[in-house]
Amino acid sequence: MFIRNAWYVGAWDHEVGRVMRRRILLGEPVAFFRREDGVPVALEDRCCHRQAPLSLGKLVGNTVECPYHGLQFDATGACVKVPSQDRVPASARVKSYPVVERNHWIWIWMGDPAKADPALIEDFHWMDDPHWGFGGSSLHVDANYLLLVENLLDTTHLPFLHPESLGTGAFARSEFEVTREGDRIKVTRWLMDQPPAPFHQRMGDFADGVNVDRWQIAQFAPPSFVKLDVGSAIAGTGARQGDRSKGMNMFNLNAITPETEKTAHYFWAQAYNFKLDQRWISDLVRQQVNAAFLQDMTMLTAQQQNMDLGPSPVVNLGQDKAWVAMRQIVARLVAEEQQTAPRSVAAA
Ligand code: FES
Ligand SMILES: [Fe+2]
């Protein structure tokens, strides 16, 4: 039950090369590789003969040779060679997915290829903007992908799950505003005149005892992107009115791609606009954010294990407003797609 007509992140750019990489996306096996000219390709990683994973085979120029009986497929997925006979059956092909390389990610369209317009790719320009540096990585999620989207939209968990890095006590009770623009959701939080979170203090070089005005503005876009504009500036210097020059700003960029109903791939980056000449910042940012996200992964896995035991009554709170709306949007988009999709796609 996924939104299929959407661009998802399938891999980091450096993960795709002249050795095939298998990844299950939206329940389908995909083999990524680059053609000899460097252009990325994504083929169904399931041979149309006996379902062997093509990614266990080898690249012969721009074609893929199946490891089992040697059928060869070109980058469009068409079978071009059957070693055991001269005739190549017309139906011998594997799916080829539209792919675009942008902002250090390899984007893939798992739905109707006719609808794959690159203009629809979500904006993650920070990773290519000379005014920003970034550190990023990926994690495997042992839980349904929407549990992670929930996690990113309700950051009242910060003081409990990440007390040593991101949370301060004031966070749980901070005021927030949820706004909608079409299917996009924005959650704006300002914590005024509070001690900085440990990670922000370190990144912003705030002197001991200095209070900050801290912002955290999360934006959700379907199917499962969350971008967080976060930062802290010395209290009372006008950050909330638009002058962020007395502090530091980071963008936490998250692209989550379902693997199965109960697992996902999590691609994330943390962009920052300070100390750009200092390479160690990128490593530190990556390491700090990764450590916090591993705490989230542990919680998500535990939630999923409990949920797998069967339905149980739950209570929704005021803080859940944004992700409740997010789930309604995703459910509606899935339903709309299934109403209009050909039966074979709907069944998938
Ligand atoms: S399974 Fe691929 S050639 Fe037989
Ligand atoms: Fe978290």
Q: What is the pLDDT of residues 152-211, one digit of tens each?
A: 999 889 989 998 888 777 877 888 999 999 999 999 999 999 999 988 998 898 999 999
Same domain membership, residue 153 and residue 105: no
253-281: pLDDT as tens digits:
999 999 999 999 999 999 999 999 988 88
- pLDDT band at residue 145 under the 50/70/90 scheme: very high
- Provide the pLDDT for residue 343: 58
Domain boundary among 68, 103, 120: 120
User: Of the residues 20, 55, 71, which should be mutated to test ligand 1's pocket, given the most ligand atoms within 8 Å of the CB?
Assistant: 71
Could you give the CA distance from residue 126 to residue 253 in angstroms, rounded to a whole number? 9
Task: Enumerate the β-bridge partners of residue 225.
Answer: 221, 255
Same-domain pairing of 179 and 294: yes
Residue nearest to atom 1 of ligand 1 (CA): 50
Q: What is the DSSP letter of 94?
A: -
Say what the pLDDT of residue 170 is.
Answer: 80
**Boundary residue ending a domain (63, 86, 120):** 120
Name the domain boundary from 120, 152, 187: 120
The pLDDT, as a whole number, for residue 342 is 67
Ligand 1, atom 4: closest residue by C-alpha:
69
Ligand number with the minimum distance to the CA of 81: 1
Where residue 193 sits, what CATH number does that domain have? 3.90.380.10
Residue 105 clears pLDDT 90, i.e. is over it: yes
Statement to judge: residues 114 and 180 lie in one domain = no
pLDDT value for 310: 96
- Is there a single domain that holds both residue 135 and residue 111? no
Residue-level pLDDT at 346: 47
Of 9, 261, 7, the residue nearest 110 (C-alpha):
7
- CA 110 to centroid of chain Cα atoms: 15
**What is the three-class DSSP state of 44?**
strand
Which protein residues have their CB within 5 A of the ion that is ligand 2?
296
Q: What is the mean pLDDT of residues 21-36?
A: 98
Asked if 137 and 283 sit in the same domain, the reply is: yes
In a domain, 209, yes or no: yes
Within this chain, do residues 116 and 59 fall inside the same structural domain, yes or no?
yes
* Domain-located, residue 205: yes
Pocket of ligand 1 (CB under 6 A): 47, 49-50, 52, 66, 68-71
Overall domain count for the chain: 2
User: Is residue 292 domain-shared with residue 191, that is, in the same domain?
Assistant: yes
Average pLDDT over residues 60-69: 98
Residues 6+ away with beta carbon under 8 Å from 260: 24, 27
Amino acid in the structure at residue 242:
G
Q: Residue 85: which domain range?
A: 7-120
For residue 348, name the pLDDT band (cuts at 50, 70, 90). Answer: very low
Q: Within this chain, do residues 147 and 31 fall inside the same structural domain, yes or no? A: no
User: Does 348 fall in a domain?
Assistant: no
Alpha-carbon distance 295 to 180, whole Å? 29
Q: Is 346 within the bounds of a domain?
A: no
Looking at the structure, tell me whether residues 54 and 201 fall in a common domain: no
Q: What pLDDT is stored for residue 344 in this prediction?
A: 54
pLDDT in tens, 278-331: 888 889 999 999 999 999 999 999 999 999 999 999 999 999 999 999 999 999
Q: Could you tell me if 178 and 258 lie in one domain?
A: yes
Is 62 a domain residue?
A: yes
Is residue 268 domain-shared with residue 140, that is, in the same domain? yes
Question: Which residue in 299, 309, 337, 315 sits closest to 147, CA to CA?
Answer: 299
**Percentage of residues in the chain having pLDDT higher than 70:** 98
* Mean pLDDT, the chain, integer: 95
213 shares its domain with 316: yes
